[in-house]
Amino acid sequence: MTENTSRNIAHVLIEALPYIKKFKSKTVVVKFGGNAMVDDELKHSFARDIVLMKLVGINPIVVHGGGPQIGKLLDRLNISTQFIDGMRVTDSETMDVVEMVLGGQVNKEIVSLINLHGGKAIGLTGKDGDFIHARKINFKSSSAASKASEIIDLGHVGEVSSIDPAVVDMLCNSDFIPVIAPIGVGEDGHSYNINADLVAGKVAEVLKAEKLLLLTNTAGILDKNKNLLTGLSISDIDDLIADGTIEGGMIPKTQCATDALKGGVSSVHIIDGRVDHAVLLELFTDTGVGTLLVSR
């Protein structure tokens, strides 16, 4: 090892130290999705990040999606899929597949990866311990033909009505790392597929998390010249949506972020999941790898 290499390593450790001290015993909710979920190297990188967070005294909670994996299995089973305004219509047959993929395949893979790298992860869905209560979404879509709003039945697609944090608190206090699939249960006893960003945001709110990290396939929030923006407030986000800077799929993600901030989460980070060790770089370095949002 050269002298320069040694100095670089020392600098990294010194830079990380105040952040480790600041976040010790705090809860950090991480939404795992995008390229980080399908690239093998990034999956292992993410798992190591989560294990290290736990080892230095932070309480990480992972919430994951799985849309591409659901789509692949539906195709293999020759079950047709319909999307309306980017939302998957989920009948009973499709919901069975969603539960198999999210609660089984994807969830158990993440658990296995974290455990492989020295962690103690436990997978759960919102049905475990009556954790996530859901209600059916009443979705309104604008009809281009009639130029009117119509109510669309999306089937087993829901939103969070309430969260009972008892099971997650128990796991965190027992040195386990919860890995949550975004499936809730309604008052009717039926399962509902919920957007993973929304679940991550609500979990962070209920647990009064120090941070919510949302992994994406972009560098973060960009201005109209494609420059990365950071240190944004809720009013900044409203302005950027109003002037068209934030558009498309980034709108619901930023709305999830602002809802979490209003609900008591200290800060939200929208980070580039395509970057190796993105979680650690955002948490423990001065520059980070994404967009920081705060409530001020």
Q: What are phi and psi of 26, to 5 degrees?
A: -90, 155
The pLDDT value recorded for residue 293 is: 95
pTM above threshold 0.85: yes
Per-residue three-class SS string for 96-157: HHHHHHHHHHHHHHHHHHHHHCCCCEEEEECCHHHCEEEEECCEEEEECCCCEEEEECCECE
The helix/strand/coil state of 71 is helix
Residue indicated by tokens 């990188």: 45
Average pLDDT per consecutive 10 residues, the chain (296 residues; last block may be shorter): 62 87 95 85 95 96 92 90 80 91 95 97 92 86 53 84 93 93 92 94 95 93 92 94 89 91 95 92 89 90
Q: Domains (ranges, CATH) in the chain?
A: 24-294 (3.40.1160.10)
Q: What are phi and psi of 7, to 5 degrees?
A: -65, -40
Instruction: Give the whole-angstrom CA distance, residue 56 versus residue 156.
Output: 39
- In the chain, the amino acid numbered 16 is A
Q: What is the DSSP letter of 60?
A: E
